[in-house]
Structure 1
Amino acid sequence: MQWLVVALAGLSLALAVQAQTVAPVSELMNAPPAAGSQQPPASSAGSSAAHSNLNSAASAPARVAPVSSWLRLPKLQGRLTAADLGLLINTNDPYSVAVGQYYARRRGIPDAQILRVQLPLRASLSLAEFESLQASVRQRMGPQVQALAMAWSQPYAVECNSITSAMALGFQPEICKQSCAPSRPSPYFNYQGRKPFTDLGLRPSMLLAARSVESAQALIERGIAADHSLPSFVPANAYFVSTPDAARSVRSVLFPPASTIRALGLEARRESSEALPARLPRALLMATGLARVEGLDRIDWLPGALADHLTSFGGLLERNSTQEQMSALDWLESGATASYGTVSEPCNHLQKFPHPQILLLSYAQGLSALEAYWHSVAWPGQGVFVGEPLAAPFAPPF
């Protein structure tokens, strides 16, 4: 049996080449709450009730034992490239047309894999509007298309589902009945191949979202600059930031130990939000639970950086950092290359947010940002994936 083993100050990180050598990735997080357990009702975005839901004892996540070491993650195949990617452009949206054309040119998306659609310019699609979009994708995208980039910031939802999960997994009406309940597991979470549409019949999706055409072009250039850029002589830093907010800091039990992975040129750093350094150099990843992250300008992002925060409505992309809960787009505007946020009240189930170690270790195996983020979320029905999907800093040169 072949293994890639990296010494970690007396511990070891093993990336198994064969899946059966380790427990399934889905077992890294425990089962959902027992049937009949109390869950708080969903609340509208920005309301005080929404904040109390995430802080309610009733919204506690599935029980998870603290992680004291690095996970043992199966070897993942990858990565997706422009030859595998379909691109959707909304001709009703000048941003979408400009960004889509720029992305197609810069990434070399084949013309046969570009689909122009007409969608309303608003945050959420109705189910009927989404079904029409989904039918167009099914009819026009060939079997070689394994994943999708949608070149717009809105719409980002389908009723109470995220548009990226609905496009990949189908619309989940049960989420709208009880948004705090467990949602449909993603087959991609435990998938190890590189052709998800061929193997699973789903296309993981990501929004090429930004607040302006210029910001989107800069995002795309960061993704391109990231390719094959790591490891380097100077380590990249992954920041795992705990906070005093217990409800939003539930992912801290999944943080790895502060340690060095020399073979990958990575430093895992555990920080407290109350004592962050004046500068955060060479940031490749940040995972935190702050509803709003102050001082984003202190972070020196590497091209291809991933960042997200566990809060109720980070996926409402029209929100901005002047509001109580910041949008996932604030990460991208500050220089990150991909992020994730939920579009309806999820409560703080760990399975509804990126598992920080799976995200980092998937990325470090050479996968793209789109693949790494999709691998890290077990129940993505309410979560929207945003950024430059093909960024792959650890991918070996062709």
Structure 2
Amino acid sequence: MSTPLRLGPAQLAVVVNDDDADSVEIGEYYRKAREIPLKNIVHVRIPNRPRKLDAEQFDKLKAQIDAHLGPEIQAVLMVWTAPYAVECNSLTSAYSLGLDSALCAKPCGPSKPSAYYNSNSARPLAEHGIRLSMLLPIASVEAAKALIDRGVLSSFRAQPATAYFLQTSDVARSSRARFFPRSMELPQKKLTIKTLQADSIESVDDVMVYQTGLAAVPKLSTLRFRPGALADHLTSVGGDLLGELQMSSLRWLDAGATASYGTVSEPCNYWQKFPNSIVMLKHYLAGATAIEAYWRSVAWPAQGVFIGEPLAAPYRGGQR
């Protein structure tokens, strides 16, 4: 059998929390929407929806999940909002890369590099020893279903869209601006790239990518996102999904994006701890799925949580 060009339903496991009725319902909705094999559905029990797990709780959860997975499974989707952290690590990075407890003594320092950074591999487990992972948050059953539907719709014919990269007045949170692509037209992809010096965009209806750096991003309610859109903001704790100190990465999904990323603990503004814009865009435009493009774009992902619909792929080949 030939190696797939990108991650597909047969290589994705879906983990549902049987102590959360919404997780069970959305897990089944996702299975049907993406035609995930029944054998790829994993049931676990996480009572009380804690935001953070300790190392012992995490080890038990990971063992439960892994016990059901065969070598063909290259990625895991966890269908819940919380838990999303393990100590100072994100749940997705702890699951995929292993828990880095030593980082918690100095979370503002460098973290371990990801072997999957800027990789072209469609089999990260076989080639890098990494199963990618993502959370599919559930703000409500209706919102989660709409998120899934956006991911599915992204596989149909690409619409004209724009990728927005904003270097803001917040200098500290603009550390990755050096990796923003230059403004240009990509007619073969029906994509316009706009790299701007601005604190926000507003009243545009064609967003495929939005990357910026602010503690809170204004005017999201005025935007319309294309199916499969990726959007994130560089800030300290956007990945503290249910926290209130800064804007949660969940707000991107609420606004209509299909996937996002944020850090769960103070990372300082190392660009390596956030999505590299050129790397992410390169892989997404080459046909990678959202989970592949996002994971490939973060060099040091220990503190970052990946959220959204993993199989969105608006630039895959053979669209109809």
Give your verdict on TM over 0.5.
yes
Q: Is the 8 A contact 2:18 2:43 kept in 1?
A: yes
Which amino acid in structure 2 is aligned with residue 95 of structure 1?
A: D
**2:209 equivalent among 260, 285, 292:** 285
Q: What secondary structure, in the 3-state scheme, does the structure 2 residue paired with 1:122 have? A: coil
**2:169 equivalent among 235, 241, 244:** 244
**Paired residue total:** 315
* Counterparts of 1:126 and 1:103, CA distance in 2: 28
- How far apart are 1:210 and its partner, in Å? 3.3
Q: Which residue of 2 aligns with 1:116?
A: 43
**1:361 equivalent among 269, 273, 282:** 282
Q: What secondary structure, in the 3-state scheme, does the structure 1 residue paired with 2:26 have? A: helix
Q: Which residue of 2 aligns with 1:98?
A: 25
Change (3 A) 1:275 1:213: closer
| 1:328 matches 2:249 | yes
* Counterparts of 2:173 and 2:117, CA distance in 1: 22
- How far apart are 1:297 and its partner, in Å? 1.8
* Counterparts of 2:157 and 2:151, CA distance in 1: 10
Q: Which residue of 2 aligns with 1:272?
A: 197
| 1:127 matches 2:55 | yes
* Counterparts of 2:155 and 2:34, CA distance in 1: 11
Q: Which residue of 2 aligns with 1:339?
A: 260
Q: What secondary structure, in the 3-state scheme, does the structure 1 residue paired with 2:226 have? A: strand
Q: Which residue of 1 aligns with 2:271?
A: 350
* Counterparts of 1:269 and 1:243, CA distance in 2: 14
Give 1:2-21 correspondences, 5 Å limit: none
Q: Which residue of 1 aligns with 2:66?
A: 138
* Counterparts of 1:92 and 1:339, CA distance in 2: 26
| 1:201 matches 2:122 | no
| 1:160 matches 2:100 | no
User: What do the CA deviations read for 1:37-60 (whole angstroms, capped 9, x no partner)?
Assistant: xxxxxxxxxxxxxxxxxxxxxxxx
Q: Which residue of 2 aligns with 1:314?
A: 238
* Counterparts of 2:119 and 2:183, CA distance in 1: 28
Q: Is the 8 A contact 1:228 1:395 kept in 2?
A: no
* Counterparts of 1:275 and 1:139, CA distance in 2: 45
User: What do the CA deviations read for 1:292-329 (whole angstroms, capped 9, x no partner)?
Assistant: 1111122120000000000000001113xxx4511010
- How far apart are 1:138 and its partner, in Å? 2.2
Q: What secondary structure, in the 3-state scheme, does the structure 2 residue paired with 1:280 have? A: coil
- How far apart are 1:370 and its partner, in Å? 0.3
Q: What secondary structure, in the 3-state scheme, does the structure 2 residue paired with 1:116 have? A: strand
Change (3 A) 1:182 1:114: same
| 1:80 matches 2:7 | yes
* Counterparts of 1:236 and 1:362, CA distance in 2: 17
- List, as ranges, runs of 4+ consecutive aligned residues in structure 1 with deviation greater than 4 Å: none
Q: What secondary structure, in the 3-state scheme, does the structure 1 residue paired with 2:229 have? A: strand
* Counterparts of 2:108 and 2:255, CA distance in 1: 30
Change (3 A) 1:274 1:115: closer
Q: What secondary structure, in the 3-state scheme, does the structure 2 residue paired with 1:189 have? A: coil
Which amino acid in structure 1 is aligned with residue 107 of structure 2?
A: S
| 1:388 matches 2:309 | yes
- How far apart are 1:270 and its partner, in Å? 1.6
Change (3 A) 1:124 1:324: closer
Q: Is the 8 A contact 1:99 1:213 kept in 2?
A: yes
User: What do the CA deviations read for 1:352-378 (whole angstroms, capped 9, x no partner)?
Assistant: 000011111110000100000000000
**2:223 equivalent among 299, 303, 306:** 299
- How far apart are 1:150 and its partner, in Å? 0.4
User: What value does the CA root-mean-square deviation take over the aligned residues?
Assistant: 1.4
Which amino acid in structure 2 is aligned with residue 129 of structure 1?
A: Q
Q: Is the 8 A contact 2:200 2:219 kept in 1?
A: no
Identify unmatched segments of 5+ residues in structure 1: 1-76
- How far apart are 1:275 and its partner, in Å? 6.6
**1:172 equivalent among 86, 95, 100:** 100
* Counterparts of 1:311 and 1:184, CA distance in 2: 20
Percent of pairs with identical residues: 46
* Counterparts of 1:126 and 1:202, CA distance in 2: 21
Q: What secondary structure, in the 3-state scheme, does the structure 2 residue paired with 1:341 have? A: strand
**1:192 equivalent among 106, 109, 120:** 120
Which amino acid in structure 2 is aligned with residue 305 of structure 1?
A: A
User: TM-score, length-normalised on structure 1?
Assistant: 0.77
Q: Is the 8 A contact 1:314 1:343 kept in 2?
A: yes
Q: What secondary structure, in the 3-state scheme, does the structure 1 residue paired with 2:116 have? A: helix
Identify unmatched segments of 5+ residues in structure 2: none
User: TM-score, length-normalised on structure 2?
Assistant: 0.95
* Counterparts of 2:155 and 2:41, CA distance in 1: 22
Which amino acid in structure 2 is aligned with residue 104 of structure 1?
A: R
